[in-house]
Chains A and B, each alone.
Chain A
């Protein structure tokens, strides 16, 4: 084994193809009235400008389990609707994860042929092992992480589309 003198970067990449417009996907990510309808069903608020606040409030279910007033916080780094959103992310409901500090999430929405968009979520979880395990859905009874959220997002948008058409 050779040891290389470089900072180890840990990244998770998730990709899903969704039959919906880029704008619909953008809204589903950034608007609380949409983002409560899939995944963990917790309202996510974004101030869509560089330096703007990002926070996730607990769902009624999470409040019952004693979740804090804000469960995830962060900052918007870059907002280029409806194609690119860069933000920081820090889980606050668990002291160990909170201590790992802010990590960085990049959302990319790219139009493909046939009314389909490609959504890629890249989460840089360098030096944040517990957050990484949470996001990969590896912590028992703590949900399915990004795969679960994105699978549910696809189902929601494609169901809404098929009901409207």
Chain B
């Protein structure tokens, strides 16, 4: 599996997207905190976090006894830069041209 495959696979699950949204709201949470927001066993949440970690979307830092989970947005940015930009570039440049033209007239 390539890095991109791991990211797409990790994002293809609603529970994992929910976990990322929780971390987006407030970063650096423990497993216990994340678990309290889901109707799921601790083991189930751990498994999802592991998939997110392997995709690089979650980075775990130790702080004393606690393991804190951080959202790492860089893999999503890489996908954006490599894939999404490629397909939206034309529209964006058309909009940029339009903006320049309208501003020239003003």
Residue numbers of A with Cβ under 8 A of B are 9-17, 120, 122, 136-137, 144, 146-148, 150-152, 154-155
Contact = CB atoms under 8 A, between A and B. Distances in A.
Given A11-B61, A14-B74, A136-B73, 6 more contacts: A16-B56, A16-B74, A16-B75, A146-B74, A147-B76, A151-B80
B40 to A, nearest CB: 22
Interface in B31-60: 56, 59
Contacts of A120: 59
Interface residues of B, number: 17
| Majority DSSP secondary structure for residues of A touching B | mixed
Contacts of B71: 13
Given A120-B59, A122-B61, A13 B78 contact: no
Contacts of A13: 27, 59, 61, 70-72
Contacts, number: 49
A98 B92 CA distance: 33
7 contacts: A10-B27, A13-B61, A13-B70, A14-B74, A16-B56, A16-B75, A137-B73
A146 B74 CA distance: 8
B3 interface: yes
A110 to B, nearest CB: 13
Given A144-B77, A154-B78, A15 B72 contact: yes
A152 B73 CA distance: 14
Given A122-B61, A151-B74, A15 B81 contact: no
A147 B80 CA distance: 11
Contact of B56 (A11, A15, A122, A144): A15
A142 B99 CA distance: 18
A12 B74 contact: no
A11 B77 contact: no
Contacts of B28: 9-11
A152 B81 CA distance: 9
Nearest to A118: B56
A136 B59 CA distance: 16
B70 A150 contact: no
A11 B70 contact: yes
